[in-house]
Amino acid sequence: MNNDSVLKIEKLTKIYRLGKRDVTPLIDLDLKVQRGEFVAIMGPSGSGKTTLLNIIGCIDKTTSGSVLLDGVDLAKLSESKLCRIRREKIGFVFQSFNLVHYLNAGENVELAMELSGKFKGERRRRAKELLGLVGLSGRELHRPSRLSQGEQQRVAIARALANDPAMILADEPTGNLDVVNKEAIVALLSELSGKQGTTIVMVTHDEQVATKAQRMLTLRDGKISCWNTNDSI
């Protein structure tokens, strides 16, 4: 793991106005994620996990504090620049896979590259390479309906890697999977971090899944209340 921070959050506070009252899911939160690190975020419902992921992913903005991704403060960017950061710097993996059902596996991965300026042949080669990386060589022409749920999530991970992002954000990536596929997907994420140097921040409610990350943090009432380090990885 490289010894530099790809993500640095300082004094992050987020306040939502709901009717006549304020809701504060995040309060003065500090967090650093090193390049190539695999971090798991746990916490009860309402603890701020999704809000934190949305802010890191440029989907939502802070009320105060700073969020630096590759040294760029997201809080100071316009919507158009945030959109570009989302496209070029962040890869997303969702619980429900979010694949386009009428596109095959290769085309789903290529879709992430369509706005990157790559030519069709280059996109196709990259998609084939990434599907091989996630264990789906030879499945490029299969549509999601012909793939198992575990395979669909592998396609989603390949798609998240398509533009060489600074970070992958995984929101409950094993939530729809059975035990066997859950273990396989977590092992794949761990391998991507350990061998490929991919930075991954994962939200999960599953402690067994979280323990496979290099570092586990718990959010409670908008603050980091507990740190655990898995020294075996």
pLDDT mean for each 10 residues of the chain (233 residues): 80 90 92 95 88 94 94 91 92 94 96 86 95 95 96 97 94 93 95 93 93 92 73 42
- Structure tokens given for 100: 């386009």
Tokens 């903005």, residue? 61
CA 9-56-151 angle, to 5 degrees, is 135
Indicate the SS3 state at residue 189.
helix
Whether the predicted model's global pTM rises above the 0.85 cut: yes
The region that residue 94 occupies, defined by phi over 0 for left and psi between -120 and 50 for alpha, beta otherwise, is beta
Helix 149-161 to helix 179-196 angle (10° resolution) is 20
Determine the Cα–Cα distance for residues 148 and 177; give it in Å rounded to an integer.
Answer: 10
Determine the Cα–Cα distance for residues 45 and 36; give it in Å rounded to an integer.
Answer: 28
